[in-house]
Amino acid sequence: MSLLQSFRNLSPRMRLGVGLGLLAWGVIGLQLSDRAEERYGLAPTEEDKAALSKILPRITTVERDGEDNQR
């Protein structure tokens, strides 16, 4: 029996509980990972941020000329 089938076999109330539990687990994990990053000195430095900004693609918007803009 697959995990999805097992989940579907639960009562609606239990499925709601499992879903809310997974959401809570995710929120707690996000909060704790940020604190652990700060505590253990794994936060990105300014050099890391500068290197990342060099790699990230830049988006430039260009306005069209002509009648297409009139619509």
- pLDDT tens string, the chain, 71 residues long: the values are 799 999 999 999 999 999 999 999 999 999 999 888 888 888 888 999 999 999 999 999 998 886 655 55
Secondary structure string (H, E, C) spanning the chain: CCHHHHHHCCCHHHHHHHHHHHHHHHHHHHHHHHHHHHHCCCCCCHHHHHHHHHHCCCCCCCCCCCHHHHC
Q: What are phi and psi of 62, to 5 degrees?
A: -130, 125
pTM exceeds 0.85: no
Per-residue model confidence (pLDDT) at position 65:
80
pLDDT of 18: 95
